Structure formats: C-alpha cells, structure tokens
Amino acid sequence: MGAIVLLLLISFVHSPVTSQDINLCPDGPAKDRYLKVHGDFCYQFVVYRKYTHSEAQTDCELQGGSLVLVKTADIQNFVYQQLTTTYNDAYDRVWIGLNDLAQEDHYVWEDGTKLGFYSNWYQGEGPSSTTANHNFTHITRDCVVMDISPSVGGKWRESSCESSAVLLVLSAREAHSYVCQYSIISTTDYSTTSYYYSTTSTDFFTNTADFSTTTSDYSTTTSDYSTTTSDYSTTTSDYSTTTSKYSTSV
C-alpha cells in the first residue's frame, strides 16, 4: 500500500477593530458613548462620576475589567486624546491601574505585572525620584493618576488612594474620574485553504469541495504458454520365422 501524504493549510485572519465596534465588548459595560474600542481592548471613560481608587477599581472589576493598564505610548496617547478631545475633560486627574500598595516604590499593574520599560511620570514623581518633597509625601501616595490638565499634559502623578493628606493628616476624600479596560470578544476567523491527499493508485485534489480523480491504469501481461507435445513413433519389428522342414529318408 502506497504512502499517504496529508497537507493541511489553515490561514488565520485577525479582523481589524475600529472604534465603532463596541458590540465586540463584553456585556458588563454599557454600550454608550463612553465606550470605545482601541486595539484589542474596550475602554470605558467614566468621566461622569468621581470615585476613590478602591471604589473605581471595584466598579471596573464588577463589570469584568480593570482600571486602564497604560503599558505603551500608544495606549497613553489614545486615552489622553479621548479624555481631552472627545470628552473635553481637560482639568481633572484620572485613576489608572498602577500602584505600589504592596511594597513601597515597587509599582505593579492591576494584572500583577511589574512596571515595564514604558512610563510617563511627571517630573519629581515615580520610583526613581529623589526630591525632598517626594521622599516626604510618598508614603501616603500609593496610587497613580493621569493628570490631564494642560500644564501637565497627561503625565502620571502619585496620589493618595482614598483620602487627601495635608501634613500627613488624612482629610478630604480623594475621588477622581477613571477609565476601565476590558478585553474584546475574540474576532479570529479560520479559513481552510486546501487539502491534498496522494496515494500510489489514486490522487485526490480538493479545493472548496471540487474533486478531481485520476485513476491509475493497470496493464497485465498474460504469459502465453506454448506446449509442444512430443510424438512418439514406435517401430514394430516384424519377425519372420523360417521353419525348417526336415526330410527323413528310410
């Protein structure tokens, strides 16, 4: 039996997502003007109310998301442009999903990943700052906001998570707008290009359900046998007997 070769080619096509595809967002967030799609995520711009960090974090999580993870310059620019242009909220601070609540000066995102190569700290802010003011106030400021006021231009600033502090004394409630982030519903399409089966006797070529069959011809050579029958000729010897006659004389 001949060898069988199977070749399966599958193409994966990832459909591009536009800002209008909000139906690709999960069921949690409301499908309204505050929901936008960018890349592989949906972003809910909650600029119509102000919560403390824990309240904002809980609200995002209850809807299946998290506070926005600004891990790239692309996400930073998108969020900043939406806040300042689409929603005209240019004089506020917005919670993002970064904090050092677990360990001082060790910032982690809400998904558990450490602060990577990209950051956008305002001058004198962040883990590398050594200013006197930073060292004095940092112990009460474990959460992070994006400051979108014109003078700061979207840079990140440390902030108290629940209450403002004056001279290390907790006072007013620290509440800001926030942005929630959700993973979009999968949009991967699977396209089967072709199947090819080959055997020694029959070939099948398949392309979108069309079949072409080539049948191998078999040629049989029948051996002819020629039998020569030997004829035997028997020669019978004839024997002639001569009888002698004797004559007796008396």
Residue 119 token pair: 């950051």
**pLDDT for residue 188:** 54
Q: Say how far residue 65 (Cα) sits from the centre of its chain.
A: 18
Distance CA 176, CA 55 (A): 10
User: What local confidence, expressed as pLDDT, does residue 20 receive?
Assistant: 59
The pLDDT, as a whole number, for residue 172 is: 84
Q: Which residues contact 131 (CB under 8 A, 6 or more apart)?
A: 124
CA dist., res. 99 & res. 105, Å (int): 9
The pLDDT assigned to 199 comes to 39
* Topology classification of domain 18-183: Mannose-Binding Protein A; Chain A (3.10.100)
Contact assessment for residue 157 and residue 122, using Cβ atoms and an 8 Å cutoff? yes
What confidence score (pLDDT) does residue 82 get?
A: 97
Return the closest-CA partner of residue 65 out of 27, 15, 16: 27
CA gap 82, 37 in Å, rounded: 11
Which part of the chain is CATH 3.10.100.10?
18-183
pLDDT tens per residue across all 250 residues of the chain: 554 433 333 333 334 444 458 999 999 999 999 999 999 999 999 999 999 999 999 999 999 999 999 999 999 999 999 999 999 876 789 999 999 999 888 999 999 999 999 999 999 888 876 554 555 455 678 999 999 999 999 999 999 999 876 555 556 899 999 999 999 987 654 443 333 334 334 343 334 344 333 334 434 343 443 433 344 343 334 434 333 333 333 3
Residue 132: Cβ within 10 Å count: 8
